[in-house]
Amino acid sequence: MSGPIKAEQFADWAYYPELLARPVPRYTSYPTAAEFVEESFELRQRISLGALTGPVSIYLHIPYCEEICWYCGCNTGAANKRHRLTAYLEALHREIALVADMLDPSVHIEHIAFGGGSPNAVPPTEFVRLIDALVLAFRFVRPALSVELDPRTLTRDWLTAIRGIGVTRVSLGVQTLNPAVQEAIGRVQPIEMIETAVAGLRAAGVGSINFDLMYGLPHQDDAVLAETLAQSARMGPDRIALFGYAHVPHMIPRQRRIDGSDLPDQRGRFRMAARGARQLMDAGYQAVGFDHFALPDDPLARAARSGTLRRNFQGFTEDPASTLIGLGASAISEMPGLMVQNEKNPGRYRMLIGADQLAGRKGLETTAEDARRAALIEALLCKGAAKIDADLLNAVRSRLEPFAAVGLVSLERGWLRLEAGAAPYARAIAAVFDAYRSEERSFSSAI
């Protein structure tokens, strides 16, 4: 019954607003970060790091941008005070050394990801220094190296660094190519800037380029989104992530600069997501999960077809490692039995690391039941089907019934399958198995 999500799951989407009414997590992990408790996790962090074996992935967070976009929900600040950025990088170097000293020699790194913020808010020479520090501190086995980049600050020197280091994958923050929408979200970047960035990255040897795009933005309608998707596809990115904008100004003050009355309603968002998915598939992209698309030869598309697709804090991935070490302010580590998040405030993070303490200040010790549900949720979101134990199925059957009644899911011999048209409801269906969703939290719209 298991297998990759099929393209037909994006065809002829039916709109059931009552099934999308409740905001749900994106399930880049289970349990989600909303369940983390605030306390020092340093001792548990040290014990867990010392017990690791085998392949591990690393994520490094750079919480700075040259310009702050109004829509952004990331933990980031302006990089206009160089002494703060310099002090942060010194702390990151120290954390790399601290963590590496705790690892067993059998641990090796296969994937490295830089995110933010914008890693290219850092001078390219400092980025090279970080790579050198990682190479000296950890044991690598042909690591894949990915970096999130802001096209507005992608300089020639940065492209030279990317070529020299051997970056294999880049994600460009594009969001929209419509000038009016760009003005409304505080991210002005003409299409020529994106085209120049793509050409420069290809010349630098980057084999896989991702575009982050958004629907549900102010002044954005079906035609505006369709134009952005067509322009993007013509530039030939290997991957496209099409996310729904989450407008939560009560949680993210910078979003108050966006007028909520200029945003499409839920029906409009649903229509954009459906038509956008169909347009990208008609352009030759394969649907991966519920919001990613990749050219058929890209490793992400191959993972979706082979049933090896996974989900972690960066979204859908072909990375098989089940352990992730997060470095930097607010970075999250996921290790057997433990999830831990570093101190979010860069200043306090620097103080902790400067005192040779690990910076984990939020987290959760996970249980066997958490692991069971996590595997089930990941299988549903990545493969479109999951085997469910009888006790769990009996516990959630009534919550599954509304989805089954309209043909979005089917049950057979203990297997739950997402049927055609279920993609926009995938997170809502996964939430049925979330033991922590007994009370209302602040999450993104289900579509």
Q: Is 382 assigned to a binding site?
A: no
The answer on whether 332 is annotated among ligand-binding residues is yes
Residue 132 is assigned to a ligand binding site:
no
116 is in an annotated binding site: yes
Q: Has 407 been labeled as part of a binding site?
A: no
Is the separation of the CB atoms in 344 and 75 below 8 Å? Answer: yes
**Annotated binding-site residue? 73:** yes
Answer whether 218's CB lies under 8 Å from 264's CB. no
β partners of residue 57: 111, 324
What is the signed CA dihedral for 116, 157, 231, 267, rounded to 10 degrees? 10
Q: Is 71 annotated as a binding residue?
A: yes
Task: Tell me whether residue 74 is annotated as binding.
Answer: no
- Give the angle 254-23-188 at the CA atoms, nearest 5°: 30
Here the tokens at position 77 are 């600040």
Task: Find out whether 360 is annotated in a ligand binding site.
Answer: no
Please name which of 340, 338, 337 lies closest in space to residue 362, comparing C-alpha atoms.
340
- List the Cα angle 214/220/221 in 5-degree steps: 110
- Coil, helix or strand at residue 215: strand
- The 3-state secondary structure of 237-304, one letter per residue: CCEEEEEECCCCCCCCHHHHHCCHHHCCCHHHHHHHHHHHHHHHHHCCCEEECCCEEECCCCHHHHHH
d(CA 75, CA 116): 7
Residue 15 counted as an annotated binding residue: no
Is residue 403 within 8 A of residue 18, CB to CB? The reply is no
Element (H, E) at 37: strand 37-38
For residue 359 the two structure tokens come to 């910076």
Sign of CA pseudo-dihedral 280, 285, 289, 291? negative
Q: Can you say which residues are annotated as belonging to the binding site? A: 59, 65, 69, 71-73, 116, 148, 175, 187, 212, 246, 332
Q: Can you say which residues are annotated as belonging to the binding site for [4Fe-4S] cluster? A: 65, 69, 72
Q: Can you say which residues are annotated as belonging to the binding site for S-adenosyl-L-methionine? A: 59, 71-73, 116, 148, 175, 187, 212, 246, 332
